[in-house]
Structure 1
């Protein structure tokens, strides 16, 4: 009670003072207001949902660019005005590297490399604008009930969520802040995939060193450049910085409201494709629909086109040269691009594809090779020896929207080297390190034409080099008219078959009849065909008109079993072609020093070319090896008759085994050239040949090859059996056992490699699954334990052990005897391990 009284007394003493202070403050404020008369305009009140008035977001300081979206730059922030009319519209978002640090990706990633390509749509949800990724892998017509099931079972992932900051004056567009989206490390649009992050030990994006470089809006697309710096423990270059810096370009382009009419793919004609699963099919299962990828070419004058006249397209395909392209090479690049005008004329179009120099800054200050409106032949300052022809396409229809041809600076050196090695025996102008400019230019022209072919939709056609007879390639008249393969899309770079004394030979590849045929098949407009299905009868007819003619056959790349579809091979008989090729290589090897080191007074080119010569020799051997256990693939429909798969005749397989023994497994003494070897390295000579010979030996002794040989027993009465192949291989590799002769160093290495490979076939298994779609796989997988393989290998090793025991006591060469004893011990160890 006493405490309560004291508290009340304290309040009575303090309150009057506080009241007095408050009154005095109010008087001072009134006096100040009377004297100053400050007028503050009322601020617009944000709406309860947090959306601000337009003028508060897009202030007078905004730098605005009008286009697909209006973009606003305000200090260091960027805003988009997303029109409501563009919500739910399909757009293609393409991520590319615009500038790249040295060494990123090991030389096969460059400025212009595409890192991702995805369809996106903008959607509104309450007070947000969502950017979603949309897929056309699964489809159904909107009029069908099942389309709802397709939708709910293919929910679109949200790439990013943007808060609506404001609406424009007439409320037809939402304003969003895109600054964080374009300055954050978003994996789906990043230039560093997971493997690079692991390889370079990337920790995180450094926000203080990352920013939006520019935003440009055009009528159909928006281009955003981002500068990113990542903290990395093992960067590919400039290691002391602990950083990886690169510039990305994000292209967002509005796709056509009406997709291009697709053309249905036929595997008998080679095309890159897009795939869809159509759940609206009347069949008892979903249909797999495959469409070819091609540019949208439509005739300006459809009536004249229908009459068979050549007509210009409404929109031609235009390629610009990179501003960094050396002047002396520009004409060859343009020629390579416009070489495709003739095949397009076969399809009814004139001036369908055009090459242009890049516009000057005065002509077009906003020109950028990364801008998705432009297709560009990118010239890359890189030591990589390669060229590529990627493209960007609409997954709804296969329409190619844009493409960039990538040319790496050092690629011509590869062509100079191959020209010297493969044609130098028969072609005097190739016997130099200073290849004539016109010939180098012709090579570049054909490489560009090849890469443009990819960008037009064509994959490699490895059957084109099998279309001409090997002996035809020695004819000047034939090669000048037909080239060395039926298509520029094969890997048939040079005529290595022609021999010294052959006259007027064409040594460099060129466009061929298949290129005209495939362009017509894919690009010719078929009048009165209003649906993809209504075109099929005409497309089939065009194929059947060429049925049986090897010049118009398509052969897949990567077919490890088909001798008629091989890379770097020419001529329809690999044995004849490789025989001529090796004969030429022997001539080149004899003269290699005089063509290189004796001219330059150093050994660098000699070393480089000798290493590549070994690779060329190995390829020629590999072409013949493919005959062994080989199967020809002839893609066809039942109406064409015959079989899709035909086993290489047994006689050809036996001849191929004998050829390999004589040209690869017998010591190639012509390659052991003292004048070369002792001038390029101090040691390691025997290892070079061991690795090359072992590669071909292991290639023959592969599980899938043995499996195909075993398969042949079930289908053919005349077949080269797995047992026959293994016996022939053993008898050839160990021929010294019959004569008790000395075994040289190279043969000893090869024989030990044989035992090692047989050991692995006793203990290991092949890949579990076959790759690719049914009927088109490259590698056969089967249950090895329950097949004949182990029994055949065990039997061959027992036969070999018996012969080694007999031969070791007959030889008088000590090292040979030690070698035989070691081989016996190795075989015994294999059997012991298998108990």
Structure 2
């Protein structure tokens, strides 16, 4: 029994020791495994940057391994402000309704990279609200403008000396991140976009340069209503993301003044000691600083430290390169007015042998791209620093087919007085001159200048028929107007310049925006000098800036300071062109395609001339001024001018224009549609005159000018002119029948428009419909042909239905 007990004790002890040993061994093994696991879970730099990795060094190092992209972000760049620009690089036909092109910017935002624990945050920084960081209110501005985080990246590892972190950007750039999407919400709704298809979307490339990183993404979206290729149910786009390091020291901004045309950007400054925050606005311009400030201060011409250089796309046809270069270099003499020589120039890019690192995508280089596209356009976009307005780079885009538009317009607008335009094969030098001026116009945009549609109103209409005047002054005071051709000059006028050119306003605006003002520490100190420069030119129409809105002196495509006279000359020329159009086109080509195209554009040109006259009715001139200047800011167009304009329209638009209905053209290009097309053009004028905005201005004008053209008088005169046949036994043509019914329909819309706040408009509409009711009732009983009688009865029924709806 004792032996048995002893054995049991020994056995128990042995088992216990064995169990403990197993536990110890298991624990040791577990510790070893944990140690190994921990060791294996700590990624090393070499895990991500391997022998298979392609590395591109620049602003950040970009590492590409198979389908993965990594950014190596220096810690010294945390918190530094960068500009993230989302642009469309390539797009499907019809996207945006034809108003969006390759190169169009979709979004521009300031971003910063910041570390939070084990993540790197990409945050959007706004400059809509600002305050001096030394003031207490700065804290409130920060608290009430929290910066959104658009993406959070996990830190994968650090580089070998721990000065940079590695993050994976593959998912950020290959998925549908709305903050950087090339497809805005409005497009998603219009085209019924359901989702981004990841299987057909990928990162095309990421390239790093010293001051920027360029990402190209290929995205395919599932869409139930794509703008083109509808059977595919797909929208495929190529998007370009540019991330640009902003200057360490922002350029001193120049305060915007609406009396001189500049693109601008603004913010709300809470640093003001006034009783409200200040709305501040700065012009957009390049940073030009003289190499020799002392010589510049003495009034000598001085080269800038960094000139504006545009590189021509190597894809540009060789015969066109000199004209593009001239269009850029033409601005050199303009900058001399501001004290800078050789401030801007165009060059061919260096070859791969000369500079293997050169790339058009590099933000350090601005370019003029030649795009193989059927789009008829050219654009001059630029990227600017939102803190100061400094333009950082610009890529002007020229689309291949754009010159065709200029050839067509040249023939139509100048062919009557200009023998060399009467052909489909315009001489190379003249085509080149047109291209040169288009490039100069787009360069103007890239320099910060918007359209100045008032510049063409600066020159007297009859001066445009003078050879000596046009050769010296061109046809408008600036290249930034849409005054493309001299359509006023008549057959027999000698030595006329027909193509636009740079003018005196360009020198004035560049001097105002770019000249360095000495002994200045902050923008407000410049205002007195800037005001003085404007005051010196005040009252001279050559130096006036006008935005295209309700002002008839600031209309697109117009020339001369008397639109009625200019359009009279223009229509007179168009009649000659219309008569000769088959001889200048189809008779030469044995093909009707050009005749059809040019006839359609001839109608558009006629419609533009008409629009210039229409704008006078209800028009208000705008002369932007400061209180120290004399005179009113807004002046109503005189009653005499408005009545002259209406009478011109009654004769040249609302009467049937038989010269536009030449059967020798119509029966060659279309089997039908003549009446609908003409009514469409007539309706443009009709709806402009009977637009609630036009009538509103006329009604309000009566308050400040008792002798103005009253809205009720204008509508009465228009009704009498449109329905002039009702006072006679004349039959009404099909074109007039359509116009008269359209007039009734528009009056009906005015009568039933519940959104207007000016009830006089409905009163005028009702009064004229009542007058028309009586007029039609009498006319329907006169001796006219059957269709005219039917028309009068139908028109009367329309009026009755509007006045007394069942």
Q: Which TM bucket (shorter chain)?
A: over 0.9
**How far is 1:61 from its partner?**
4.6
Q: Distance in 1 between matches of 2:725 and 2:257?
A: 53
**For residue 610 of structure 1, what is the aligned residue in structure 2?**
599
Match of 2:662 among 657, 673, 677: 673
**How far is 1:100 from its partner?**
4.1
Alignment of 1:382-401 (within 5 A): 382-401=373-392
Q: Distance in 2 between matches of 1:725 and 1:790?
A: 14
**How far is 1:182 from its partner?**
2.1
Alignment of 1:127-206 (within 5 A): 127-206=118-197
CA contact (8 A) 1:273 1:291 kept: yes
**For residue 791 of structure 1, what is the aligned residue in structure 2?**
763
Matching of residue 659 in structure 1 with residue 633 in structure 2: no
Inter-CA distance 658–256: structure 2 relative to 1 (3 Å threshold): same
CA contact (8 A) 1:742 1:811 kept: no
**For residue 825 of structure 1, what is the aligned residue in structure 2?**
797
CA contact (8 A) 2:110 2:124 kept: yes
Deviates more, 1:179-188 or 1:505-514: 179-188
**How far is 1:376 from its partner?**
1.5
Deviations 1:381-402 (A, max 9, x none): 2211111111111100001111
- The alignment partner of 1:640 has SS state of coil
Q: Distance in 2 between matches of 1:107 and 1:709?
A: 34
Alignment of 1:509-548 (within 5 A): 509-548=500-539
**For residue 7 of structure 2, what is the aligned residue in structure 1?**
none
Inter-CA distance 74–797: structure 2 relative to 1 (3 Å threshold): closer
**How far is 1:308 from its partner?**
0.8
Deviates more, 1:816-825 or 1:390-399: 816-825
**For residue 33 of structure 1, what is the aligned residue in structure 2?**
none
Q: Distance in 2 between matches of 1:214 and 1:137?
A: 33
Matching of residue 809 in structure 1 with residue 781 in structure 2: yes
**For residue 421 of structure 2, what is the aligned residue in structure 1?**
430
Deviates more, 1:303-312 or 1:732-741: 732-741
Match of 1:578 among 564, 567, 577: 567
Deviations 1:579-604 (A, max 9, x none): 10110011111111111111111111
Q: Distance in 2 between matches of 1:240 and 1:741?
A: 53
Match of 2:752 among 759, 763, 769: 763
Q: Distance in 2 between matches of 1:362 and 1:101?
A: 36
Q: How many residues align?
A: 784
Deviates more, 1:221-230 or 1:375-384: 221-230
- The alignment partner of 1:637 has SS state of coil
**For residue 36 of structure 1, what is the aligned residue in structure 2?**
none
- The alignment partner of 2:154 has SS state of strand
Q: Distance in 2 between matches of 1:732 and 1:99?
A: 51
Q: Distance in 2 between matches of 1:799 and 1:628?
A: 22
- The alignment partner of 1:328 has SS state of helix
Q: Distance in 2 between matches of 1:584 and 1:676?
A: 18
- The alignment partner of 2:150 has SS state of strand
CA contact (8 A) 1:393 1:402 kept: yes
Indicate the RMSD between aligned Cα atoms, in angstroms: 2.6
Inter-CA distance 765–429: structure 2 relative to 1 (3 Å threshold): farther
CA contact (8 A) 1:84 1:173 kept: yes
Match of 1:126 among 96, 117, 133: 117
Alignment of 1:250-265 (within 5 A): 250-265=241-256
Deviations 1:651-696 (A, max 9, x none): 1111111111111111111111110111111122111111111221
Q: Distance in 1 between matches of 2:480 and 2:101?
A: 23
Inter-CA distance 44–79: structure 2 relative to 1 (3 Å threshold): farther
Inter-CA distance 236–805: structure 2 relative to 1 (3 Å threshold): closer
**For residue 283 of structure 1, what is the aligned residue in structure 2?**
274
The answer for unaligned runs of 5 or more in structure 1 is 1-11, 27-39, 767-781
Matching of residue 508 in structure 1 with residue 476 in structure 2: no
Deviates more, 1:75-84 or 1:194-203: 194-203
Deviates more, 1:672-681 or 1:467-476: 672-681
CA contact (8 A) 2:376 2:401 kept: yes
Alignment of 1:185-584 (within 5 A): 185-233=176-224, 235=226, 243-557=234-548, 559=549, 561-584=550-573
Q: Distance in 1 between matches of 2:795 and 2:473?
A: 52
**For residue 649 of structure 1, what is the aligned residue in structure 2?**
638
CA contact (8 A) 2:301 2:336 kept: yes
CA contact (8 A) 2:209 2:362 kept: no
Match of 2:675 among 686, 691, 698: 686
Q: Distance in 2 between matches of 1:796 and 1:74?
A: 76
Q: Distance in 1 between matches of 2:637 and 2:771?
A: 28
